[in-house]
A and B are shown apart, each in its own frame.
Chain A
Amino acid sequence: MSIEPTMNLFVKKTGGWVASQLEACTRCGMCAEACPYYLATGKAEYAPIWKVEPLRRAYEQRFTLIGKLKVALGVEKALTDADLKAWSKVDFEACSVCGKCSGACPMGIEISSLIATVRAGITAAGLAPAGLVEKTEMQMKCGSPNGMCEDEYIKWFDSLEEKTGVKAPLDVKGADMLVVYTSLEIKDKRHNLYDLAKILNAAGIKWTISMDARDAFNMGSIIGNPKVQKELAGKILNTAKKLGVKQILVTECGHGFTTLRDAVPNVFGEELPFFVTHIAELLPNLIKEGKIKVKEGYFKNGHTYTFHDSCKIQRQGGIMDEPRYALKLLAGDTFKEMDSIRENGLCCGGGGGIRSIPEANENRLAAFKLKLAEVEKVGADVVVSTCDNCQLQLKDGFKHYNKAVEVKGLIEMVAEAMI
């Protein structure tokens, strides 16, 4: 194994955007106090800025006089393979790339973006966790990271007709909207297809699905492999262009949404000819605009609801008001807010691919405990989320700690409350 691919990637990534932020860090340690993995375990090496250390060293040693001097004087060692191996455990097993740390940094450094670069460097060295490598290979082979290959999707899409009487709108040219699901839904939330069809049809939206753009999941974004990211996202981009849609709707995927909306234009060097939206944004807007009607207070049924802000959809996606609008309408005053919400939302502990790394189970469940404490404090027995991966982690966590808390998605709630 060689350090060269990592160094090349770091050098390629080091523009002024990265360098100026690395230079701004005062090593004050405040970012640690926001990180769920550090807080849950107390391990100093889980401090967000420590996760950026390989990139800082590479940058300083390659681009700055003082960095070169430090190596020459022996104050600092050049980055080695062994270092990357050690940091692989930290950056992948104790970080969900949730971005909470950047809100705590007095300098406003976008630490999680820098961590994503470190992860890419580790991946380039072939040192990414085996669980993630396996999922990446699987997605490259069959289109979805968890083995939901084409035939499974065909069966799922076909089942729409049985369930709703409406045929699946496959590859409809000139449709308004291309809907892209995730392989987590086909596995664990098959009803999302039927529920969303009911909503979109009621709203009079001309929508389509495509076998060429069947999974928003992007293992390239998760593991930090730019080539994989480009290839997978390219399929969706090209399908949307081919069909001439005006919008892409990502259903319950978080990173898939930000990849398409924020990364793809820069990866392909072009502004997108369509709008990328998420159900967390679309569904409440459909209600607000009167395109669908829901029974107000439908979920005022003796339960207490709370909303889990997902890192990619809410903090990094900016869709914070819309789901709250819908929930207030549906659950009224039985909807209660936790302590850490919106931009300050607390990660469920299961993002950034950490759920596919068995070695990280302990960290993942420890981080979940912080979320659990907030859910319990607000007295909620139903947690609503607009991200599939978060929902799985929340269900897992509540089960692990023996808590009778239900987890619901927004799609199913809106579909159920529709009149």
Chain B
Amino acid sequence: MNTQTMLELARGPIFYGALLFFIAGMLYRLVTVISLGWNKDLAKPRGDKATGVVKSFLRGGIIFPFFPREKAAYARNPIVYIAGGLFHLSLFIVVILGAAHMLVWKSLIGFGWPTLPLPIVDWMAAVGIIAMVALIVNRMVHPVMKLLTGVAEVLNWLFVFLPMITGYMMTHHMFLPYENLFVLHMMSINVLLVWIPLSRISHFMFYFFSRTIHGVEWGKRNAMP
């Protein structure tokens, strides 16, 4: 099989298969968690739950990166805070606002959007890669993170890192012919798509649950989420 055929496969049937697995897997996860049942809270709220939820998302998603509530805690493990934040930012910029990726989205969902100039996206990709390296080193040396890290956590890191590094090498024509890198990039994405529903990378979906719960709980007491 030549590289061209491999690429066709990797960005064709294998990609669509992986994507389907991803969607079905995430739906399965969602349905199983929801179907475990939810109890109604009968306690009289002291504050407003809806306000709590809004504040929880504002703090969690928008204000948090700049003003975490437990500032002292973040200052004690700044690598998780800074590198974790930069990694997510890089992910958003490269995967959503990078021109090449936007075209993939467009082919999948039928519409596109303005993108950022390549140099910015490229720099952010590099930032993301450096952040990922910092995160894994931190995971290996910080006593708490060492305890919390098993095979699954290392695989999470690896399966996210591979698409990033192969994508970067591709744009810079590094080490291997472009087409070979493209195959590697696509295959690593396919692996990631299959892995996400099986792993904790799915936290991006459950984030909406945990942040909502947090907002409800704290809003109910009239405390700041």
Decide yes or no: A343 and B69 within 8 Å by CB, A29-B80, A271-B44 being known contacts.
Answer: yes
CB of A33 within 8 A of CB of B32, answer: no
Q: Which of A203-211, A293-301, A314-322, A375-383 contacts B (4 or more CB under 8 A)?
A: A314-322
Main SS class of interface, B: helix
* Structural contact, A318 and B47, CB atoms closer than 8 A: yes
In the complex the two chains form, is B42's CB within 8 Å of A265's CB?
Answer: yes
Q: Which of B173-181, B184-192, B207-215 contacts A (4 or more CB under 8 A)?
A: B207-215
B33 contacts which of A16, A25, A108 (Cβ < 8 Å)?
A16
B140-154 contact mask (Cβ, 8 Å, vs A): 1 or 0? 001111111111110
Is B111 among interface residues, defined by CB-CB distance under 8 A?
no
Q: A110's contact among B206, B213, B222, by CB below 8 Å, is which?
A: B213
**Distance A416 CA – B151 CA, assembled complex (angstroms):** 62
A residues within 8 A CB of B147?
Answer: 44-45, 47, 50
Q: Are B73 and A28 in contact, with the CB atoms below 8 A?
A: no
Residue contact A109 to B41, C-beta cutoff 8 Å: no
Question: Which residues of chain B (37-94) have a CB below 8 Å from chain A?
Answer: 37-39, 41-44, 46-47, 56, 60, 64, 68-70, 72-74, 76-77, 80-81, 84
- Min CB distance A257 to B, Å, is 12
| B221 within 8 Å of A (CB atoms) | yes
With beta carbons under 8 angstroms apart, the residue of B32, B46, B151 that contacts A75 is B151
The residue on B at minimum CB distance from A277 is B46
List residues of chain B with CB within 8 A of the CB of A30. Answer: 73-74, 77, 80-81
Q: Does A149 contact B (CB under 8 A)?
A: no
Encoded as 1 (CB less than 8 Å from any B CB) or 0, chain A from 98 to 119 comes to: 0010111111111001000000
Stretch of B96-104, B115-123, B125-133, B196-204 on the interface side? B196-204
A325 in the interface, Cβ–Cβ < 8 Å?
no
Tell me the smallest distance from the CB of B117 to a CB of chain A, in Å.
30
With contacts A14-B36, A107-B203, A269-B42 taken as known, whether A20 is within 8 angstroms of B74 at the C-beta atoms is no
Query: Do A63 and B36 touch across chains, with their CB atoms under 8 A apart?
Result: yes
CA–CA, A63 and B29, complex, Å: 10
Contacts of A340 in B (CB 8 A): 72
B224 interface residue (CB < 8 Å to A): yes
Given the known inter-chain contacts A17-B38, A266-B39, A266-B41, please indicate yes or no for A47 contacting B211, CB distance below 8 A. Answer: no
CB atoms of B69 and A44 under 8 A apart? no
The answer to whether A66 and B60 touch across the interface, beta carbons within 8 angstroms, is: no
Point out which of B43, B64, B69, B142 has the most chain A C-beta atoms below 10 A from its C-beta: B43
Tell yes or no: A27 within 8 A of B by CB: yes
On whether the beta carbons of B144 and A47 are closer than 8 Å, the reply is yes
User: Which residues of chain A are within 8 angstroms of B137 by Cβ–Cβ distance?
Assistant: none
Contact A15 B38 (CB under 8 A): yes
Docked-complex contact B74 and A29, CB < 8 angstroms: no
Chain A residues whose C-beta falls within 8 Å of the C-beta of B80 in the assembled complex: 28-30
Partner of B213, one of A17, A106, A272: A17
Contact of B34 with A by CB under 8 A: yes
CB-nearest residue of chain B relative to A48? Answer: B144
Task: Find chain A residues with CB under 8 A from B163 CB.
Answer: none
Tally the A-B contacts, defined by beta carbons under 8 Å.
175
Contact A108 B151 (CB under 8 A): no
**B211 to A107, Cβ gap below 8 A?**
yes
Partner of A44, one of B74, B146, B198, B203: B146
In the docked arrangement, what's the CA distance between A128 and B210, Å? 29
* Nearest CB in chain A to that of B198: its residue: A66
Complex formed: what's the CA distance from A32 to B214 in Å?
A: 18
Nearest-Cβ distance from residue B46 to partner chain A, whole angstroms: 5
Residues of A within 8 Å of B167, CB to CB, are none
* In the complex, chain B residues whose CB is within 8 Å of the CB of A166: none
B73/A262 in contact, CB under 8 A: no
Q: Would you call B224 and A104 a contact (CB within 8 A)? A: no
Whether B77 lies near A271 (C-beta < 8 A) is: no
Is B153 within 8 A of A27, CB to CB?
yes
Q: Does A23 contact B (CB under 8 A)?
A: yes
Contact B210 A344 (CB under 8 A): no
Task: Answer yes or no: A159 CB below 8 A from chain B CBs.
Answer: no
Interface residue ranges of A218-254 to B (CB < 8 Å):
none
> Is the beta-carbon distance between A109 and B74 smaller than 8 angstroms?
no
- B213 near A108: Cβ-Cβ < 8 Å: yes
Q: Which residues of B contact A342 (CB under 8 A)?
A: 223-224
Q: How close is A113's CB to chain B, nearest CB, in angstroms?
A: 8
Give the chain B neighbours of A262 by CB distance below 8 A. 43
Within 8 A of B (CB), among A1-48: 14-21, 23-34, 38-39, 42, 44-45, 47
Name the CB-closest residue of B to A32.
B144
The distance from the CB of A54 to the nearest CB of chain B, in whole angstroms, is: 14
Contact across chains for A24 and B210 when beta carbons are under 8 A apart: yes
Q: How many angstroms from the CA of A33 to the CA of B147 in the assembled complex?
A: 14
Cβ of A270 within 8 Å of any chain B Cβ, yes or no, is yes
Give B142 Cβ to nearest chain A Cβ, in Å.
6
The digit string for A56-84, where 1 denotes a CB below 8 A from any CB of B, is: 00000001111000100001100000000
Q: Cβ of B43 and Cβ of A23 under 8 Å apart?
A: no
Can you add 8 more A-B contacts, CB < 8 Å, to A23-B29, A30-B77, A103-B69?
A20-B33, A20-B206, A20-B210, A30-B81, A104-B68, A108-B56, A275-B44, A344-B70
A-B interface, 3 closest residue pairs, ranked by CB to CB distance from nearest: A108-B214, A318-B221, A20-B209
| 14 A–B contacts, CB within 8 A, in A order | A17-B213, A27-B200, A30-B81, A33-B72, A34-B72, A44-B143, A104-B68, A106-B60, A106-B84, A107-B60, A108-B211, A317-B46, A318-B46, A318-B47
Residues of A within 8 A of B (CB): 14-21, 23-34, 38-39, 42, 44-45, 47, 49-50, 63-66, 70, 75-76, 100, 102-110, 113, 261-266, 269-272, 275, 315-318, 320, 339-340, 342-344
